[in-house]
Each structure stands twice: as structure tokens, then as C-alpha cells.
Amino acid sequence: MNGVPEDLIVYEIALVVPKRNLNEENKGYDCVEVLVNEFRNVGLIVERVLGLSDEFIKWLGMGYKVILSRVAYYLSFFQLAAPLETLGRVAAKMQMKKTTHIGIDLQFEWEEIKAFVRQPDGSLFSWCERFQCYRHLIYKIVNKKNSDVTLKFDGKEIQWEAGKSLLQRLELEGIVKQVFPLHDEIKRKKLLRSWALNWWDFTAQPIDEIYAYFGTKIAVYFAFLGMYTRWMIFPATFGLILQLIDFGSLKLLVFPAFFISIVLWAVLFFQFWKRKNSALSARWHLNFSVSTSEGYKLSGREWNSLQPPLELVKNSGIDKTKEKEALQRYEWFGYLKRFRNDVIIILSIICLQLPFELAYAHLYEVLKSDMVKFGLTVVYLLVIQYFTKIGGKISIRLIKHENNENTEYQADSLVYKVFGLYFMQSYIGVFYHALLHRNFMTLRQVLIQRLILYEVLENLVENSLPYLKYSYKKYRAVRNKKKREKGLIGKIQFATRVEKEYLKPTYSASISEELEDGLFDDFLELALQFGMIMMFACAFPLAFAFSALNNIAEMRTDALKLLAMLRRPVPRAAATIGAWLNIFQEGKWKIEPGLAAILVMEHVLLLIKFGFSRFVPEEPAWVRAKRMKNATQAQDMCSKQLLRTISGREKAFGGYIRRKKPDGTNKTQSCRNQ
């Protein structure tokens, strides 16, 4: 085993609660003590840590006056760890599907543990699977009594309703402040040495170790970033040659050759990336499986864009006519809602953002003073950041009314909607200078500003802000400690790592924390960079070289940010880069007006064709539901018997299973008759 031994206790989840005055007589009814006891009852290992003080703002109503005061309090941390057997039994209870040694995904059973394939680091469960088990363990602690249970917290009574989750109830009451994953110090320090601080290997990365520690989505991002940067060496070298060597009259041949090679390079890169993505999915055992509630999926991610709800699938077979009508109604309403939301976003971009962007580009062109241009740019950046945040919030509200059955598809829908805002923000000024004024000197200045200054400043901001936030929270916690304990001399140190983790900021997206994490901003930066260098390659061939250098630094700084400056991110099970692949594969080329008109008409027709193909699905929802039901029944058949066969308890020949009778003779029985 290459990773940490599974019998070693590693605390992976933390809970934060305020410290309270606990009397012995009320100890049995204290809600936090009850929660801790329930954690232990389900097999979790719990460790309590008393942390430094924090503060919150309290509103005090005094008649018509409202007084704002800061109240300081100590925090208690609870670190949770789960033995392998606890995780295995809850995985079986959750009916988790895992890959077996014969390549088939079957429902996990703890007694048949030898039948299942282990992860590349030697562990039985991936970080995504362990996190799902932890969430099931801590949030499925419910009141099993027929009546409510009265609990207490610092003299306050809390009603724990029958059948309700205790942890969710305490979160609603504000008693449990936060629940977050913890860094594994052994693995974290190993990744710091071999990855974040290893600048000599340039694009080499321990992808399997990243997958084991952070989960699928982050590992796929760094695999894409590493491959993208390696492949950029060719166009960067070609562009550097064009910039340094004067080809004279041969420029008429060299630049078209450069442009054609760049287009071919992009096509080949994405084809080989899809191959690499498939290879990673196979290596990490992210194979296709069937689920009654999620349809065909790839490690928790629906393969179909719109699946019928679980209630409709479960009720199938009661009344065929009503079943088809309900599924068709659900399907068409879902597509109409999505179409309505897309129209709202597109009209908002055209009617609101486009005039604003054109006005800024025009003023930047006509103004003569550099100081005035600088001031205009500052105002523009402030306004556009506010506008983008508003657009992100509106998009999230619209997505909540779509029939997306999976959070990853909700995230993809958000990416498509919000990227339009960023596309207009990043490219309209460049198109203005390139197409309207045709001023290549100004165009190159804008490209240098966007590709060099903007990316350097963006990296500085995104890596320095988490450190500044952590430093400020640490300073505030130490200051509160000194205030509460007057006369305390010397430097205050954090006793445990869970206190440090609590003060670190989360890996969140700039637009929203509901559907996307920090990967949104990282992918957005790459997508905008790719569009810039592809569309204006001939105007500024050095763009590839600058982008390659930026991406090499981006790999290490992003790794350092994740390992040292932020909390451990919540794992996401999506095994592809999702909507970003479609965004990356868009391109624009400079052509003659006549050919442009033909291609515009062709693209309009293709867009109409694509729209109808997306709007009118090839397969009705009721057919999908019936296929899912039949496929699930077929897969569940013989699964337990097959697990015993893989584990070595019985031998199977040609689809038949040979058992021993009580008298010692053999009995052969078909697997299909089990």
C-alpha cells in the first residue's frame, strides 16, 4: 500500500460548536453531548478540542433603538474519524456501487470485501466515497422515537422532532456552526514536497495522489492543466520563432502556415485529452453503472441531461397511460424552463452588457490622456465585477427552477449562463479594436494587457487573498484570547491543526458557493486565455509563450493554495471537465466577407439544427424510465451470488454455479434461476 495504512486513525471531518457551561445534572440532555454519543454509537471516533475564542455580532433591541455589540465566545471542535469497517458497513447500507475484479460494478457488501478493486493508493474507498459515507453517518442520525425529544443547550430548550436529523436541527438552531473536511497532515506534507514545491519537473504532477487526496474533479482539472501546458510548447516555440526572425516576403506563407497549424493543434489536443480523460476514468475505476434514481451515470454524474424524478420511476407500472403523460409533461416542462432561462440570459447580455462594453471600448479609443484611460479602466473593472456578481445570482435563481436532477448538471448550466457575461467582458473590447478600428498596435497593447498584466495580477490576488483572510482571522482570535485573559504574556499558539483549518477560507467560486467551488474561477481563467490566444494568434504570436509560462506557475500556485492556504475542498465526483469542454472547442477565424456570409448562414442553420436536436429529445422520458427499470432489475439479478463467486467461495462455469450438497455431491444451478 502506497498511502496511509487504513487501520491508522485519521480525523477527516470537523464540527464547530460554541463552548457552553455544562452541569452534571443536565449532561444527559445536552444536545451536543447527545450528538457526540450518537456519533460514537454509529461507529465514529470522536475527539474534542477546545479552541481559541471567536466573536460574532449581536443585535440587541432596546425599544426603538438597536444596539450593535460584539460578543466573544470560546469554540469547541469535534474531530471525527471512521474505521474501515464502519465505512464499509455504511457503504453497503447506502447500496454504493463499486468495481469488482472482473470489471463489473456491483453493490458493495462488507462480507465480500475481497471481490472489490482497491484504489491506486491501495485504499478500499476513494475520498469521494469516504466523504459520502461520513455525510450519511452524521446526517442520518434521526429521532427514532414516536414523540419529540427535549434537549438543552445553555438553558435553552430544543425540540428534536421524531424522524428528523439531529445535526440538521442543531445547524438550524445555530449550535453547530460549521461542518467541514480536514486536511490529512501526512498526505498534505507529502504532496507539498512532491507537487506544490517541486518546480524542477515543470508540468509533471502526481495525478493519482491528487485524485486520492482531493477527489475526481480537482484531479481532472490538474490533469487537463498539465496536458494543456505541455501541448502549448509547440505553438509557443513556433510563435517565438515568428517574433524573433524576420521572414520578409515569406511572411505571406509563414503566417497562414502558423494559423493552420494552430487550428490543427487545437483539434488534436482535445481529441487526445478525451482519450486521456477516458484512461484516467478507467484507472480510477470510474465506470458506468445503473441506478434506479439517477439513470446511466459516471461516478455519480448523470449521463442524460434530464432524468425523470424518482417518484415517477417508482410509480411506473401502475397506469401506463397516466405514467407516460406524467413523464412527458415533466420532460417538456423541463426543456421549456431551460429555454426560457437561456433566452432571459441572452437578452440581458445583448440589451444591458453589450452597450456598456461598447461604450467603454469606444471611450478608451477616443481618449488621449493615459491617466484618464487608467481612471476609466478602474471604474469599468469595479462596475463590471458588480454586474457579473448580479448576473451570477440571477443565473442561480433561474437554475433552481430547472429540472436538473444532478448538482453537476446544475453547475454546467450555471457555467453556460455565466460564461456569456465573462465572454462579453473579456472579448468585446478586443473585437472592437480588431474589427472596427483595425488598429493592430492598440490591439497588441490590449492583448498584452489581458494576457500578461491581467493574468499576473489575477494570480497575485487569488493567492494572496486567502492568506490575508487567514492572517486576519488568526490575529482576531489571538486578540480576543488576550482580552478575555488579561495579563497573559507571551505568544499564543494554536494547539491543534483543527483550529488552523477553521480559520482558513473555503475553496469557493467568486459568483456563488451553492453550485460551484473554486474550480469555476480556475477553468474560467483557462477558457478566457485559450480563446484569446486562438482568436488572435496571428496578431500576437508571443501569446502562446506567455500563456505557457503563466500556466506553469499556475499549476504550482494553485497546488500551494489548495494545500496550505485553504480548507480541504468538499470532493466532487464528476469525472470530466463538463461544460468547459464545449466552451474550449469554440473558435473564430478571420475570413473574407463573401465566405463569411456563407459561413454565417451555414452556422445559423447548424445552430437551428442543434437547437431543435437539444429541444426535441431522441428518446421519450417514459422510454428512458422503462429502460432504466429493466436495466436495474437485470443488473441486480445474481449480484450477491456473483460476489461470492469472485470472493472464491464458489466456482462458476459457463454461467452455472456449482454448489456442494450436504451429502458431499455437486449440485449445478443456473445463475439466472437464483
153 with 224, same domain: the answer is no
Residues 36 and 176 in one domain: yes
Q: Give CA–CA dist 175/182, Å, rounded.
A: 20
Residue 266 has pLDDT above 80, yes or no: yes
More confident residue, 620 or 91: 91
- The pLDDT, as a whole number, for residue 148 is 86
What is 587-600 written as a DSSP string? ------HHHHHHHH
Q: What is the pLDDT of residue 134?
A: 94
Where does a domain end: 134, 151, 182?
182
158 in a structural domain: yes
Could you tell me if 262 and 116 lie in one domain? no
Residue 210 has pLDDT above 90, yes or no: yes
C-alpha cell at 608: 437551428
Domain end position, chosen among 126, 159, 182? 182
Is 64 found in the same domain as 135?
yes
Q: Residue 671: phi, psi to the nearest 5? A: -65, -25
Quick check: is 80 in a domain? yes
Is 531 contained in some domain? yes
Query: How many angstroms from the chain centroid is the CA of residue 98?
Result: 21
Interacting residues of 388 by C-beta distance below 8 A, sequence separation 6+: 418, 421, 422, 425, 511
Residue 630 has pLDDT above 80, yes or no: no
Strands 156-160, 178-181: pairing is unpaired
Taking only the tens place, the pLDDT of each residue in 301-337 is 333 334 445 444 445 455 667 777 777 777 777 777 7
pLDDT tens, position by position, 214-241: 999 999 999 999 999 999 999 999 989 8
Same domain, residue pair 53 and 196: no
On whether both 66 and 110 belong to a single domain, the answer is: yes
For the stretch 3-59, pLDDT in tens is 556 667 889 999 998 876 655 455 557 888 899 999 999 999 999 887 665 544 333
> Is 457 within a domain?
no
* CA distances, 318 to each of 263, 313, 322, 324 (Å): 55, 11, 8, 11
d(C-alpha 410, C-alpha 396), whole Å: 9
> Domains in the chain: how many in total?
2
For helices 127-139 and 84-93, give the axis angle rounded to 10 degrees: 80
pLDDT at 306: 40
Q: Which domain holds residue 503?
A: 183-288+496-587
User: How far apart are the C-alpha atoms of 254 and 549, rounded to whole Å?
Assistant: 24
583: confidence class by pLDDT, cuts 50, 70, 90: confident
- For residue 29, what are the contacts with CB-CB under 8 A and spacing of at least 6? 150, 151, 152
Lowest mean pLDDT among 402-411, 461-470, 533-542: 402-411
- Which of 101-115, 399-413, 620-634 has the weakest average pLDDT? 620-634
Neighbours of 36 (CB within 10 A): 18
In sequence order, which residues have a C-beta less than 8 Å from that of residue 231 and are 6 or more positions away? 265, 269, 272
Q: In this predicted structure, what is the pLDDT of residue 71?
A: 42
566-580 tens-digit pLDDT? 999 998 877 788 788
Nearest-angstrom CA–CA distance, 405 and 411: 11
Whether 391 is in a domain gets the answer: no
Q: Which helix (H) or strand (E) holds 666?
A: strand 666-670
Nearest 5°: the CA angle 141, 143, 148 is 150
| 278-307 mean pLDDT | 51
Q: Whole-angstrom Cα distance, residue 35 to residue 20?
A: 15
Q: Do 221 and 256 lie in a common domain?
A: yes
| 91 inside domain | yes
Count the Cβ atoms, other than its own, within 10 Å of residue 53. Answer: 20
Grid cell of 7 as nine digits: 487501520
Give backbone dihedrals phi and psi of 63, rounded to 5 degrees, phi first.
Answer: 70, -120
Cell 461470492, residue? 644
Q: Render pLDDT for 368-409 as a digit per residue (tens, 0 to 9).
A: 787 887 787 778 777 777 777 777 778 777 777 776 666 667
- If asked whether residues 86 and 19 sit together in one domain, one would say yes
Question: For residue 385, is it within any domain?
Answer: no
- Say which residue, 457 or 603, is predicted with more confidence: 457
Distances (CA, A) of 235 to 77, 222, 245, 534, 585: 52, 21, 15, 10, 17
Rounded to an integer, what distance in angstroms lies between the CA atom of residue 143 and that of residue 163? 5
The pLDDT value recorded for residue 221 is 93
- 72 band by pLDDT with thresholds 50, 70 and 90: very low
Cβ(619)–Cβ(328) below 8 Å: no
CA distance 483 to 515: 39
Structural domain contains residue 39: yes
Is the domain of 57 the same as that of 143? yes
Please tell me whether residue 287 adopts helix, strand or coil conformation. coil
Residues 281, 156 within the same domain = no
Element (H, E) at 294: none
> In 493-542, which residue ranges form alpha helices assigned H by DSSP?
497-503, 519-535
Paired with 78 in beta bridges are 15, 48
The CB-based long-range contact list for 486-493 (8 Å cut-off, 24+ gap) reads: 492/52
Mean pLDDT of the 618-641 span: 64
Q: Are strands 178-181 and 288-291 parallel, antiparallel or unpaired?
A: unpaired
Residues with Cβ within 8 Å of 578's Cβ and at least 6 positions away in sequence, in order, are 408, 411, 412, 415
Helical residues (DSSP H) of 496-584, grouped into ranges:
497-503, 519-535, 543-560, 579-584
- How much is the average pLDDT of 83-99? 91
133 & 120 share domain:
yes
End residue of a domain, out of 182, 204, 239: 182
Residues 42 and 52 in one domain: yes
pLDDT at 489 over 80: no
Q: Which cell numbers in the block locate residue 28?
A: 444527559
CA 612 to chain centre: 30
How would DSSP label each residue in 51-110?
EEEEEEEEEEEETTEEEEEEEEEEEEEEEEE--HHHHHHHHHHTT-EEEBTTS-EEE--G
